[in-house]
Amino acid sequence: MIDVRLLRTQPDALRAALARRHSAEVLAQLDRAIVLDGRTRDITARRDATRAEVNELSKQVGQLRRAGDTEGAEVLQKRSRALGDHEQLLDNEHDVLQRELNQLLLRIPNLPHPDAPDGTSDGDNPVIKGPVHLPDSFADHQRVPHWETAAALGILDNERATKISGAMFTMQRGLGATLSRALCQYALDRNADAFEEIRPPSLVTTATLTATGQLPKFADDAFAIERDGLWCIPTAEVPLTSLYAGEVLDAELLPMRLMAYSPSYRREAGSAGRDTRGMLRTHEFDKVEILAVTTPEQGAQMLPELLSRAEALIDGLGLPYRIIEICTGDLGQSHHRSFDIEVYAPGCDAWLEVSSVSWFSDYQARRADLRYKVAGQRGTHVANTLNGSALAVPRVWAAIVENFRRPDGSVAVPAVLHPYMRGAVSIEPRGVASR
């Protein structure tokens, strides 16, 4: 969440920054938060003054009783009780206003970075690199949607996945399943030089999901296990961000680089019938995430590093790709600055987002109470967090099947994945050798 002190010290600058998100609702929320914060502080001052007066009267009552002035003590005690009742009313009003303010602060989005491009929607996102590896044209055999090729090769069985789990679940089989695993191991291995591997839980508490900004605003897009008060993670970013929640790290440990493979779960609310064929949109998928905890100064340096690592993975696969920067009107709630990597899938005839690399400034860390301490300095500082999709399987898998489809219907496996494919260098029609 944003620093509440900005509501008091820089309201005009705060309003100007959030106006770049082009949302009247956000500005209305901000105005309401400023009013609530002012009222809360006013009531706090009145409550504390009343409490101090009650304490002073209590001392005077004791002095009068010791002096034998029972009548005078009872008069003051009666006044003290009345003030005590008033203090309780003020305290209750304070709690109501504070809860409303906290809920508003959880919904007000992060401030866009000054260098984030202005825009109102995804149509204003500029391409900053590419296209790379995009040929002048594609052959007819590459223009076949991946779900048709995958069905012919027997490597995707969504019909049985639906029978088992319901709509919008997928199931890879044979070398299709091997390809999914290979992509994850490839992403982990390529980042193991600098990132500590974590295997986090796939179920988290409400507080953990709130820390990254999914709650309360995006509750409808998350899978809840209500009986146990747990949530399925939409990305490994969620548990990794809260790994040190409530702790104070030594500044010498920063930047801290973490990576994780995990299944990811998303309800994809409102997407029924849209991009749901094949592997394009699914409730459960595998993904490798890279994440960094930094100081604010390190955050600005870490963002291009994470983007470069995510790009290198796609570039290594030889897929046609481009990089876009997310404009202010399209930024996610927690995002300070963000970039997407998109691959072109000729069978779908579409650019598919396969990676998002984002800097959250102190927005998530403030929610998670993630701080650091500099040796020799008093006090603590709120950390910064950044993350990137090192590799999300479904759309990369789909792009491989479409881009590397051969005239005979087989699919060539990118060379960087050969070490993970148990000797297979291509995916052939059933009954045909692939080694």
Q: Which pLDDT score is estimated for 165?
A: 97
Query: Pick from 286, 320, 294: which is nearest to 387 by CA?
Result: 294
Residues 314-333: pLDDT tens digits? 999 999 999 999 999 999 99
Domains of the chain, first to last:
5-107 (1.10.287.40), 122-427 (3.30.930.10)
* Proportion of the chain above pLDDT 90, given as a percent: 95
Do 395 and 385 meet the contact criterion of CB atoms below 8 Å apart?
no
- Along the chain (435 residues), what's the average pLDDT of each consecutive run of 10 residues? 94 97 97 97 96 94 93 93 95 96 96 98 97 98 98 96 95 97 98 98 96 91 95 97 97 98 88 74 96 97 98 98 98 97 97 97 97 96 97 97 98 98 93 51
Amino acid at 3: D
Tokens representing 279 are 């592997």
pTM of the predicted model, to two decimals? 0.92
Q: Which pLDDT score is estimated for 433?
A: 45
Alpha carbon of 255 to those of 170, 299, 367: distances in Å? 37, 8, 19
Q: Which pLDDT score is estimated for 217?
A: 87
Q: Which pLDDT score is estimated for 429?
A: 86
Phi, psi for 37 (deg, rounded to 5): -65, -40
